[in-house]
A and B are shown apart, each in its own frame.
Chain A
């Protein structure tokens, strides 16, 4: 354990980088410190110590050259006029108060920046700058230099604003609250004994005032419920909003009648109270994690611009302008944006994005290379065959699978209950009306409307937002973020779980390397690591990480032969590493394994066996899940890991290998055809189609801000082991909802007792309705919070 880096807090190791007597873990961190120190911005470190972010690659080079393009700038800038421009950048690494402080003081680093404001929940910074003093590209490069790298993706270029919905809801709640407080005041005399003796003057004035104040509530605040009820009825579905609309309507008409005829002040307080609680419930349920965008599609992965070669010169063009037969240049580590043919260069394509296999595949001239592959090695030239939108991968991601099953508000169970509820209530109302028609005709109409008024589905309508809303929050606190409350209900009905292998149950970054062969001396290990460090091949990286030696040797004559191996001279001795064919001339007896043979000086010393590292807690999760669900595993890799997987999953689970993204999607489709409800767990890259096809798709993310297109939920990789607990908790949620239904039925029965007798006074209505609402809400919220503390440790 060495010193901690002053900037980012990581261990500096044995050789910290020193500057001004302060230790840093790397030059990157030291550079940022120097930048901030030069502008007197040390407060960054005082607000939150070691708040800095460590970034491996420091050289931006031409990375942001596309920001000089007029069309891209136009799309990105919120506003540009008279020399001033304004841009909103998404910066996922914002994580603390220091980040807010630094980003809001950017003007200290560059005078061209006028102002910047951070929206912490959304992780965005809105910056106003003078474009003659600093260009957009320079601004982004500045932010990259202090390690607050903005994420600029294609989908951001096309997005539109959608923030008004939340504002409307707040305004509606404000109006309803204002109206409620005042209307309750006017109805107050009715609550007290002797209230009937209120003089006619006051009765009529209070009545009319409450009528006027209720108008905006009935005709504006509750509009969404009418619309939803109407939509449901159009599809012949009686959803929960139908009885609510019925109740509101009846309350309003009955009360207006009473006010006009001077009989009383009406039930306006119950009416407005009902609407107010419903709106608050909607607001509570609607809390979303704003920085997580669940609506991403393939565009968030592809680069914004690409280098096109026109008559021998390089030109940067936006991705949308790429056409068939264009010649493009793809550099090392760049993503291929469209299906293209290789026309020049050595192509080594890493398809982990598409299939999950991270071992690069060499391609020959004129081979068709699919979009989504990443070039490893020197630059290559390609000719576009299919435009971006028609490429194989985007076709897969854009499969318009039947998502009409989940339309918000149409939860199955709730709807069934509301059907029965509405039917029963209408029946009781009619019966009561008929009964009184024969006994005391005056009460007939009153009894009829009383039943409709008091039979409040408000408790029913409130239990769902509050129970599921609280559940969503509880999940979010434990690192499980779901798209909306429908997901909870769907999770409850799952009976089959499909796992993707690479990146999901394996740790995508680290692989274990075991050496089988001669015992290696420290010197030999040092030589091997030195050789491995010069190669960007993932197998070399795995070997490098598994040898804990520092102070590497210099290598001479380094050569990397694609699909073969690496070779170099170290202190005059030859060291080679690579496939069996490369080192020993004979092909491997296990063709699918990843063994890296080592040749030092004069002999083959042995080989490294590279294995996947599985996530912690994987076997426990599998054991727990197996008892309840059918498990399946789909892998894009070859069968080399089969033994390990059979041990992990047991013989009951079906394992499938060499699955392409399309295969995975087909598999899920077939399971669904068999009537199973499928939960798919993937890492979102090569299984996007399957995730969309399944009933619930969950991504395991190491970085929750950049994850798969269109999944239903994300689990933070550190909380993967709690997966079973999350699934079990959805059962608890549903049970709480059912208990709340029972409670609300009790209230309804009590209310109906008064209503059918024709003795429902505004007082009783005003007591019963709020109490039933509040008690259901309190029960739901507290039970979920208590349960989550106990069960979701």
Chain B
């Protein structure tokens, strides 16, 4: 067990080095002129800026030297300067991280709860109409483009019905709570601004539904399969024999056992959420990393887009590690190779 965790921990820096190498290739070799990935077009005529960039990134050196300098800069947290915001990419990302985290947490919450509910429902009515409906709903969630469903739902609920406030994290007239965690719901509660808390929650409702729905299917599919598996076991028969009600059998006896494999998929669905968050944020004008990535890509802001990919890959690797380790702890029967 300890050995497994250690080996996984050691593999992370190696994978990160690989990821950084990919980023190096992206920024240096796909462009005709690597300089264009570091200096914006308008500043190309400014010899001072060009010379400074060449010096900082070692562009006047050989390619292997450039690579070493690139890695060294990354290790010290220097992801370059965004063309668009003219600020260090890392600072931009750090500033926008809480918005994305808050969205992803709420989406994860929605996806997990709805996924488990649909999965249990589908297993209870195996191969009957509720099963088919639950599976169709789940499939729709993973097939529908979030940048389309988000757009139409936003129109429907803001313009047509007026139930949901427009895009963004808070109403324009709402006062943002003082910064503690960066999660507006938490910060508002800490500051005792209950109105702001409700407003932030109201703004979170639609984007986290749209984003969370995209992982509902992944989770419900697995819950259904594990529930069907669990419901066929002897201990369910035993529970029924001693007179446990249907709800109790499902939720107290079968579900906890079905949750072990589900734990992994919830962790991995984080990847889908990051992916989906990029496009969801773009539609809802959500000031997080996703919309930053989209704006950067639209403006061919290479340092920013490559920086976001690097951070995304790091987050992704760490989540998978945590998931695998948690799984190993939750299910000691699994022998890890």
A and B together in one complex: no
What is B's interface to A at a CB cutoff of 8 Å? none
What is A's interface to B at a CB cutoff of 8 Å? none
